[in-house]
Copies of this chain bind each other. A is one copy, B any other.
Amino acid sequence: MAKKSMNKSKFGLAPGTAVFTGIKKTDNLNITVTQYSEKSYEEIVFNTIDDLKNYIKSIDSKKGEKNSLNIWINIDGIHDEKFIEELTLNFNIHKLTIEDILSVGQRAKIEIHSDYIHVVTRVFNFNSIEKNIEDEQLTIIRKDRFIITFQERETDIFNGLKKRIKEGIGTIRKRGSDYLLYAILDSITDHYIVISEQFNDKLDSLETELFENGDNVKLEQLYKVRREVILFKRSISPMREVVNSFEKLDEPIVSNDIKLFIRDLYDHTIMVVDSTDSLRESIYALLDLYMNNISNKTNEIMKVLTIMASIFIPLTFIAGVYGMNFDNMPELHTNYGYFVILAIMVSVLIFMILYFKRKKWIK
């Protein structure tokens, strides 16, 4: 899982080489442009890079009149290196940034270039085939009124945000692309919280299972959650720095009245990291509980064995003695020998039971 986040194919290449290092997760390449201002809203789907280029050109020429327009270009699928390169060069993006977009194992980071902002984030998707959580890379470029987002494949992470833009909920339509960048980061962080809750739910159900029938818990499940939490923790921790750096950007890039929102977002990132730490501690607690539970079971099993063996082995021995075929065994020929021996056996039995009762092995 963690393995996929780094890829050998980059080894030996020149820095800034545009090579997609991931596993192709979709065959489609979706280009969706959401263009909005306080009064207008339009969602356009493009099929080719040329259409998109023409669109961007038309926007640029209409600069004066459409000044308040925000344009959000979302790309699902980054396996087409040529396409990504052409698109980004259109915006004068540095080749190291392009490389980062295509290298899917990046750590979350924010880079402030002279005329654009480059944000790398990690998002999480549930892979329904392998039944585990996969982390993917989501790159955001902000240049003037443009926000470009690159995802490894189509996800539903932006559904709520797009609805808010479409229906004009909140103040998003009245604000610039800095607010849109904030809103995107906010959606991602909210998604982290959802993931973190899913982990909590999983743990709670594992916990319940453990209390109900100890040895049926699939240890492998707990192990899997643990490794996913390790990955999750590693992926979300750098987001704090990203949001913190974002908050520190000054007026021309980020308007002051958004600062409060970013501060709020920062609190959320801290909260989700805190909550992941608690997750880890809870996993340790559950593991210890599991371990102790097994030891308790072994203990109980041993007790049953020891009680059974300690009672019946001596009795069997006594029976064995009087099963011997010696000619001269006087007891055998007495009238009540058999009954005396039976009485002795019952005494031994009672003694052993009392002994184990005193030891509290039998309740």
Question: Which residues on A are within 8 Å of B, measured CB to CB?
Answer: 2-3, 5-8, 10-17, 94, 96, 100, 105-107, 109, 111, 159-161, 163-164, 169-172, 183, 186-187, 190-191, 193-194, 196-197, 200-201, 204, 211, 213, 215, 219-220, 223, 226-227, 230-231, 234, 260-261, 263-265, 267, 270-271, 274-275, 277-278, 281-282, 285-299, 301-306, 308-310, 312-317, 319-329, 331-338, 341-342, 345, 360-361
Q: List 18 A-B contacts (CB under 8 A).
A: A12-B161, A12-B164, A12-B190, A14-B171, A17-B170, A106-B271, A215-B360, A230-B282, A292-B294, A298-B298, A306-B308, A312-B317, A319-B320, A319-B323, A321-B345, A322-B324, A323-B324, A324-B338
Query: Which B residues are in CB contact (< 8 Å) with A321?
Result: 319, 342, 345
Verify A223–B312 contact, CB threshold 8 A: no
Further 18 A-B residue pairs, CB within 8 A, beyond A14-B172, A309-B313, A328-B338: A3-B204, A5-B275, A15-B183, A15-B261, A17-B170, A105-B271, A106-B267, A227-B282, A291-B295, A298-B302, A306-B308, A308-B313, A316-B316, A323-B323, A324-B325, A325-B325, A327-B337, A328-B337
Measured CB to CB, the closest approach of chain B to A110, in angstroms, equals 11
Verify B170–A278 contact, CB threshold 8 A: no
Query: Which B residues are in CB contact (< 8 Å) with A296?
Result: 215, 219, 294
Verify B261–A200 contact, CB threshold 8 A: no
Verify B314–A313 contact, CB threshold 8 A: no
| Given known A-B contacts A260-B96, A322-B324, A190 and B294 have beta carbons under 8 A apart | no
Query: Which B residues are in CB contact (< 8 Å) with A278?
Result: 2, 230-231, 234
Query: Which B residues are in CB contact (< 8 Å) with A274?
Result: 107, 234
The residue of chain B having its C-beta at the shortest distance from the C-beta of A340 within the complex is B326
Verify B275–A109 contact, CB threshold 8 A: no
Verify B317–A16 contact, CB threshold 8 A: no
